[in-house]
Amino acid sequence: MTSQRQSLGAWGETMAATWYEAHGYEVVARNWRCRDGEIDLIVRNGETIVFCEVKTRTSAAFGSPAEAVTRTKQVRLRRLASRWLEQSTVPRRSVRFDVASILAGELTMIESAF
C-alpha cells in the first residue's frame, strides 16, 4: 500500500472517530489488530459496542466506498469482533456493526450496516 493511500485511510478513520465523539461515543480502539486482521474503529456508547469499518475514496470511479464492504469482509469483521470481545473487559449489552463511507471528503455513517 502506498503512503498516499495509507494517509487517506488514516484521514478517513480520524474523520469517522471525530463523528462518533461528536455523537457521544468513546473511542475504545483504533486499528485493533490480531493475526487474523484489523478492525478500523471500536467505539462505545453506554453498553453498546460498535465495530466500524471505514472506507475512504476520493472519487466514485470504482463505486461507493460502502460497496467495498462485501459479504466476505463482513464475515471477517464478525470473526475479528468475536476475538476482541473474548479479550475485552469493557461492559457491554449489545454489539453493532457500522460502515463509515467517505467519498470526496463527505462522510456517510451507516449504522447497523450488517
| Of 102, 13, 28, 111, residue with least CA distance to 65 | 102
HSE at residue 59, side-chain half, CA atoms within 13 A, is: 2
CATH architecture classification, 3-108: 3-Layer(aba) Sandwich (3.40)
Q: pTM for the whole thing?
A: 0.93
User: Which DSSP category does 6 fall into?
Assistant: H
pLDDT in tens, the chain (114 residues): 688 888 888 999 999 999 999 999 999 999 999 999 999 999 999 999 999 999 999 999 989 999 999 999 999 999 999 999 999 998 889 999 999 999 999 999 999 999
pLDDT at 6: 87
* DSSP symbol at 113: -
Q: What's the confidence (pLDDT) of residue 4? A: 86
Q: Are 98 and 55 in contact (CB under 8 A)?
A: no
Measured at the CA of 76, the angle between CA 70 and CA 81, to 5 degrees, comes to: 125
Looking up cell 460502502, which residue turns up?
66
